[in-house]
Amino acid sequence: MPENKLQAIKYADGQLQLLDQRLLPYETVYLDVPDPKAAWQQIKDMVVRGAPAIGVTGALALAVHLISGGRGKQYASVQACLDDVASTMDCLVTSRPTAVNLADSAVKLKAVAAEAAAQQGATAETVTAAVVAAAEATLEQDIAANKAIGAAGAAALLSAVAARGKANARPGGKVTVLTHCNTGSLATAGYGTALGVVRALHEQGRLERCYACETRPYNQGARLTAFELVHDGLPATLLVDSAAAALMAQGKVDAVVVGADRVVANGDTANKIGTFSHAVAAAAHGIPFFVAAPTTTLDAGLATGEEIEIEQRPAEEITHFKGQRVVVEGIDVWNPCFDVTPGRLVEGIITEEGLVPRDSGSGSHKVAAFMAARQQAQAANGTAVPRPTSSVSALDAAGVVAFLAGRPQLAKHVGPAGSEGSWDVKEVGDGNINFVYIVTGPSGGVCVKQALPYVRCVGEGWPLSCDRARIEAEALALEHKLCPQHTPQVYLYEPASSVIVMQLLGPPNVILRHAIVQGGTCPHVGRHTGEFMAATLFSTSLLAMDSRSFRQMQVRFTNPDLCALTEQVIFADPYAQAAINRWTAPQLDEAAAGLRADTEAKAAISVLKRKFCCSADALIHGDLHTGSIMVTADSSVMIDPEFAFVGPIAFDPAKIIAELLIPYFAADGHEAAQGAGSRAGQRVWLLQCIIDVWETFSSRFLELWSAKVAADGGAAAGDLSPGALLGAAADNGPAALASCQQAFVAGLWADVLGFAGAFIIRRLVGIAHTADMDSIADADVRAACELRALRFGRHLLVQGAATYKGVRELTAAAAAARQVDGLPADTAAEAPAAAALGVQ
C-alpha cells in the first residue's frame, strides 16, 4: 500500500500487524496477528477500532489464516475450504456486533469463495488464491473510498455553511469543524472518513480549525484524534464532550462531521456514545451535522435505529483510571459504547459515491433506494457484490418459483423447464421464526425455507441474524451424515437470500404435533427420536471427537442470536413481567403471578440457564419438539435445527419429553368436547413414547460409547473417553468405563428433568404456546388442563432431579398428577396417589 503518515494496519503477504491504539499517544507498538483467534481478541479488546479498520482487519486475518495454513493445500476438498472460510469469518463477526463493516467483509469474502468454487476446474488452491486476493484488496479499496468521502464531504460541508450565509464569515472563506471519537487513519486503512473530510478541507486551504471532543470514557478523541491532528500539523483544539454545546453557542463551530458504525434505512446512525448529544446541540444552534461513512457501513436491512444492537462496555472504563478505582463502591454503571442519532438530525450522509438522498418532507434519508440504485449500477457493469444478509428480501410465491426455476439443479425436483406455470406453492410455516414453502410440480417437489432478519411471530421489532439459515443448513447436512434415516437431505443453501432448499417430505408425512392434536398416535416415533439423538449427540461430543475438531465445531456453530432468544423466552420471561408473555386469562392470572414471585423456581431456572450457556457437550438440535418431527406410519424425520449450537446434551431429550407431556395433560380438554375416555388410548401412548425416547436414547448412546472405546484398541475414542484410561487393555478399564457411563447418565437425567419442567412452563405462560392446549376451545377447560401441566412443570423444575431416578417413575408421576383433580386413571397400573409422589 502507499506510504501513509499513520497506519493502524500493516500487512504484507500473510503477515499482519495492528497498531495497539490502547497505548497511544504514549507508545507506538505494533502487535502481531498470527491467526483469526488473535484477530478476534484484538478487535474485541479495541487494539484496533473504527468500523472500517475492523472490517479490513477481519478480511486480512482470513488472508493470514489461509496463507499460513498452506495456501489451499491444507484442504482435502473445495468444500472443506469453503467451510473454513465461512466458519472463520462468522466467528470474527462476533467480536464487535454493532459495526456492520466486518459483517460486510464476511459476506463479500464468502461470496468470492463461492464464485471461485463454481468455476470449472476449481481446486482448494484456486479458491484460496481468490479469497486472499479479495481480502488483500480491502486495504486499497478502503483508502480510495476514504479519499472520495473526503472530497465529497468537503464540498457538502462548504455548501451547507454557505447556505446559512456564513461562506465568508471567516478569513479566506475558511470553516471550523467539530468532530467526535476517532475517524482518521487510526480508524480506517488510511486517511479517514469524518477526519478525511477535515483533511480534505485542510488540503484545500479551507480549514480554520478542527475541534476534537475527548470522547469519554475511552478517550479516543483525546488519545487518538488529537494525536493524528498534531502528527499531521492540522490546526486543532481539544475539548471535553460536555463543552461542545457551549462552544457552539459562542459561534465557534460552523459544522459537525462524525463517522458511523452503522447507518440504517432511514438514516438513523449508530456512532460513539456522545454523538447524539452533539447532533441535538447542533440542531439547536442551526449548525449542519454530517455523517461520513463508506457504503459498507450502510445497512438498509434495518428499518430504524431501534433495531441496532448496542454493545455494552465494561464498567471499569468509567470506574477506574490506570487500574485504580476512582469511583465509590456500590454505584451501578451504564456504559453503552454507542448511541443512535435520529436521521432527521443529520443534514447529509456522505459516502464515497456521494450523498445519500434525503426526503424533504420527513427528513429521513433514502438509504435503501440509494443502495438499490448502487447495486443496479454495479450489476450493469458486472461489479455487483452481495450485501450483509440483514438486507434479505422476503420471497413470495412468485419469487419462490423464479428462485427455483433459475437453478436447474433444483428445478428438476419439481418439474421440467417450461412447466413452472403448473407449479403449486403453499406457505406452510407454522413456527415462530421462519417462512416455509412447499413447492410441487410434475416431477415431485421441494421444501423452501427462508430466514428473514427478524422473528416471524413478532415482526421487524425483534431482529435476528440471517446466519441462522447457514447454521440450520450445516446442521442438517451433518445430521444427515450421522443419521440419514431420520434427517432430510439439503439440496442447496444460498447465503445471499438466506434460503435453504431441501428434500420434500410430502404426504403421507405430517407434523407430529398436528397428528397428536387430531388424536392420533405414532408407536414408532419415540424409538426413532431416541435413535436420532443418540447418533447425533454422541458423534458430536468429545466422547467421539478429538478436542481440536470439537473446538472448530464450536466456532462453526456459534449461534448467538438464537441462543439469546432461548435464554430470554425460556430462562427469563416466564418468571418476570415481560410484555410478550401470555396465558389464559383471567383463569391463570394467579398462577402466573405466583411464578413471578417463586423464589425456588427462580433459583432453579438460574442454575439451568448457567448450564445452557456454559455446558458445551455436543452439537444439539436446540429445538426438538413435536413441531420439528415429520411422521408417517413407519418413519420419523427430524427437521428445523436452526437453534443448533454446541450446548448441553440434556437439552434435546428434555425438550421432546416436555412436548409429549403437554399434550398428555391437554388430552382431558379434548375429551371434554369429544367424549369421556376418547383420548385415554392416546394418553397411554404418550407416556409410553416418553419411555421409548429416553430408554432408546440412553441405551443406544451407551452402546455407541462402548463401541468407540473398543474400536482399534481404544485409539479411536474421543478425547473425553481415552482408550488408555477406559479401554479393555487399561488397568480396570472396563470397570472404569462402566462407572463413567453410570455417572454420566445419572447426571444427564437430572438435567433432563429440570429442563423439561422449564419447557412446560414457557409453553403455558411465555410468548410461544402450542396447539395442544390452544386448540381447546373452552377457556375454563383449557385453563384447568394448563394449570395441571403448569403445576407438574414447576414440580419437575424445582424437585424433579431429587425425586425421580428413572423415566418410568416420571411417567407414573405424570399419570398421578392428573388425578389430583379427580380425573380417572387410564390403566390399572397407574398410581392413584399423586401426593405420595410429591406432586402438589
Give the model confidence (pLDDT) of 179-238 as tens digits. Answer: 999 998 887 878 889 999 999 999 999 999 999 999 998 889 998 999 999 998 999 999
Using alpha carbons, select from 254, 153, 245, 133 the residue that is nearest to residue 194: 153
Give one word for 780, left, alpha or beta, with left for phi > 0 and alpha for psi -120 to 50.
alpha
> Taking residues 525-538, what's their average pLDDT?
98
**SS3 category, 597:** coil
pLDDT at 832: 42
CA–CA separation, 427 and 316 (whole Å): 50
CA–CA separation, 741 and 739 (whole Å): 5
- Report pLDDT digits (tens) over 561-615: 889 999 999 999 999 999 899 999 999 999 999 999 999 999 999 999 999 999 9
Give one word for 165, left, alpha or beta, with left for phi > 0 and alpha for psi -120 to 50.
left
Kindly indicate the confidence band of residue 101, based on its pLDDT and cuts at 50, 70 and 90.
confident
- Report pLDDT digits (tens) over 443-493: 999 999 998 877 665 655 667 778 888 899 999 999 999 999 999 999 988
> Taking residues 640-650, what's their average pLDDT?
96
pLDDT at 834: 40
- As beta bridge partners, residue 631 has 510, 636
**SS3 category, 351:** strand
DSSP code at position 392: P
CA 389 from chain center: how many Å? Answer: 12
If one compares 829 and 732, the residue with the highest pLDDT of the two is: 732
- Report pLDDT digits (tens) over 541-563: 999 999 988 988 998 899 988 89
Q: Quick one: which H or E segment has residue 684?
A: helix 680-710
Q: For residues 618 and 537, is the Cβ–Cβ distance under 8 A?
A: yes
Which residue is associated with the grid cell 483469526? Answer: 36
Is residue 319 pLDDT above 50, yes or no? yes
pLDDT at 802: 94
CA–CA separation, 229 and 214 (whole Å): 13
- As beta bridge partners, residue 256 has 178, 289
pLDDT at 839: 40
DSSP code at position 304: S
pLDDT at 431: 55
Kindly indicate the confidence band of residue 822, based on its pLDDT and cuts at 50, 70 and 90.
confident
| Average pLDDT of the chain, as a whole number | 90
pLDDT at 368: 85
Task: Retrieve residue 685's grid coordinates.
Answer: 401412548
Is residue 282 pLDDT above 90, yes or no? yes
If one compares 142 and 279, the residue with the highest pLDDT of the two is: 279
Is residue 385 pLDDT above 70, yes or no? no
Helices (H), 164-252: 194-203, 220, 226-232, 244-249
Task: Retrieve residue 162's grid coordinates.
Answer: 454557505
Pairing of strands 499-503, 435-441: unpaired
If one compares 392 and 629, the residue with the highest pLDDT of the two is: 629
CA–CA separation, 770 and 517 (whole Å): 10
Which residue is associated with the grid cell 447436512? Answer: 477
pLDDT at 386: 47
Kindly indicate the confidence band of residue 387, based on its pLDDT and cuts at 50, 70 and 90.
very low
Peptide bond into 25 cis (omega under 30): yes
In sequence order, what E strands does 419-523 have? 424-427, 435-441, 444-450, 454-455, 459-463, 490-494, 499-503, 510-511
CA 764 from chain center: how many Å? Answer: 26
Q: Is 772 a catalytic residue?
A: no
CA–CA separation, 61 and 614 (whole Å): 27
CA–CA separation, 162 and 168 (whole Å): 8
Q: For residues 718 and 727, is the Cβ–Cβ distance under 8 A?
A: no
Lowest mean pLDDT among 360-369, 370-379, 407-416, 742-751: 370-379
DSSP code at position 653: H
Q: Which of 104, 254, 261, 772 is catalytic?
A: 261
pLDDT at 779: 96
